[in-house]
Amino acid sequence: MPRLIPLLLLLLLLLLLSISISFAYPLRTPRSLAPFARRLRPRAPANYDYETRFFQQRLDHFSFADQPPFQQRFLVGSATAGWGRGDPIFFYCGNEGDIEWFAANTGFVWEFAPRFSALVVFAEHRYYGESMPFGSKERAYKDAESLSYLTAEQALADYAILLTDLKKNLSSENSPVVLFGGSYGGMLAAWMRLKYPHIAIGALASSAPILQFENIVPPETFYDLVSNDFKRESVSCFKAIKESWDALEAQGKEHNGLLKLSRTFRLCQNLNNTDALSDWLDSAYSYLAMVDYPYPSDFLMPLPAYPIKEVCKKIDNYAEGTSLLERIYAGVNIYYNYTGTVDCFDLEDDPHGMSGWGWQACTEMVMPMSSSEENSMFPAYNFDFAAYGDECVESYGVKPRPRWITTEFGGHDISKVLEKFGSNIIFSNGLLDPWSGGSVLQNISDSIIALVTPLGAHHIDLRPSTNNDPDWLVKQRESEINLIQSWISDYYQGKKGASNSM
């Protein structure tokens, strides 16, 4: 089952996944919040007209050591007609991946910016895409020393400095900035609003699991939610998956069993053990839960509407004599091979996971994950921090600091803390999304608002709108727009009373 770095999606062709399995059974670990970022060829955002720019950043914002600077990539929308000095800036906090890819999948910002005459800016997160310290990914990812500047705090400081400098260059210091982000980027947006209230007036944090740390939410949350998504479609499907892990292990132990498994699952290479296959299946189910969208999508993979329903149809409806594992194969074939163009599945190994998220998970982003015997369809597992830490030392030569995020950004007693202290944050979540369990699902104050949609999946609200959007999604976006509108109006009203006029 999943271990330290469960998955670095690297699409060779559109459909071939390569999966990084660094560690042996049974470490369970945070999967990349936005694994889709690993797509090699970001699609050019249709109709999203932007300029690509680079900005020189300090490597270490928190020391005065003389370090080589690096170039941070950012995109500036050129399509916002009518933007003028003092008008709003919509700033997207880049996630763990190529910013062009996020720009293409964050239709919300582009579609609504014109209503506010807002200038759109997408900033890339350091150590991802083209924003590489030390001049190249190879050098940036060399070792614990070179990676040590890959932290959320450094990334937020990058964003703060970039925004401040950009506003100065535009002679638009008084522009209100609204932050946007989904998944890890949503966490960054929320944290940035709290850390830099003088730089941004509000944040829309979509599917942002800021409470997935320490024991704030139960460690079973993520896998329970994935499992529920399957159970709600079909109890028999849920049960078949739950039983399949034993069947898989048993077959793996048989004479020629691994060979048989490799054939059943049409793998390009023969298995040496069942770990890689288990991980691959785990990833399919987990990502399916994230992208269980109500319309056909091509986000992580090309998929039909409500893909879990389709997977379960395959698992549930089978010809006599079909083995359980063959049914499982037919089910995940929907996820990995919906277009029917994959010849064989490549479970490519990447033993030292040169993924930035692997490093982040081994340093700050320690999100304990367990799988409960009762509610989960995954093999039972209890998060074991000591083992997790050992794997991090082995893999990156670094010890995780599991309490750092809550010390730096908070999380415990969030309602009490933010009710008095914070303002202007929307936490939006769809309850089908397994990350929703680690996010804020209740209103905290008049301006720290939780928008929850029972049938939404991973940051669906930020995705481009489609003709197939259900009413609840249209309404959710309208609520978000209204809230953002009110922040901006309040800001300008406050400014009118102030001496420094726009």
Q: Which of 68, 82, 169, 500 contacts ligand NAG by CB under 6 A? A: 169
Residue 431 binding ligand NAG, by CB under 6 A: no
Q: Which of 111, 130, 349, 408 contacts ligand NAG by CB under 6 A? A: 349
Q: What is the bridge-based pairing of β-strands 50-57 and 448-453?
A: unpaired
Residue 413 binding ligand NAG, by CB under 6 A: no
Question: Which residues 6+ apart lie within 8 Å of 419 measured at CB?
Answer: 444, 445, 448
- 148 labelled catalytic: no
DSSP 300-331: SSEE-SSHHHHHHHHHHS--TT--HHHHHHHH
Nearer to ligand NAG, 266 or 313 (CB): 266
- Which residue among 433, 436, 461, 469 is the active-site one? 433
Residue 454 binding ligand NAG, by CB under 6 A: no
Residue 222 binding ligand NAG, by CB under 6 A: no
Q: Which of 4, 113, 271, 281 contacts ligand NAG by CB under 6 A? A: 271
Q: Which of 67, 236, 269, 489 contacts ligand NAG by CB under 6 A? A: 269
Least spacing, CB of residue 40 vs ligand NAG, in Å: 20
Residue 45: asked if its preceding bond is cis (omega within 30°), the reply is no
Residue 490 binding ligand NAG, by CB under 6 A: no
Question: By three-state DSSP, how is residue 44 classified?
Answer: coil
d(CA 472, CA 455): 9
Name beta bridge partners: 422: none
Nearer to ligand NAG, 100 or 346 (CB): 346
Residue 259 binding ligand NAG, by CB under 6 A: no
Least spacing, CB of residue 451 vs ligand NAG, in Å: 6
d(CA 152, CA 149): 9
- 459 labelled catalytic: no
d(CA 454, CA 103): 26
Stretch near ligand NAG under the rule CB under 6 A, chosen from 162-170, 187-195, 208-216, 228-236 = 162-170
Q: Which single residue brings its beta carbon nearest to ligand NAG?
A: 340
Q: Is 34 exposed, middle or buried (0-12, 13-18, 19+ CB in 10 A)?
A: buried
Stretch near ligand NAG under the rule CB under 6 A, chosen from 86-94, 142-150, 193-201, 447-455 = 447-455
**Are the C-beta atoms of residues 310 and 49 closer than 8 Å to each other?**
no
- 125 labelled catalytic: no
Q: Which of 345, 378, 388, 409 contacts ligand NAG by CB under 6 A? A: 345
Nearest to 204 by CA among 496, 492, 483, 5: 483
Name beta bridge partners: 181: 205
Name beta bridge partners: 53: 74
Residue numbers annotated as active site: 183, 433, 458
Binding residues for ligand NAG (CB under 6 A): 53, 55, 162, 165-166, 169, 266, 269, 271-272, 276, 333, 337, 340, 342, 344-345, 347, 349, 442-443, 449-452, 479
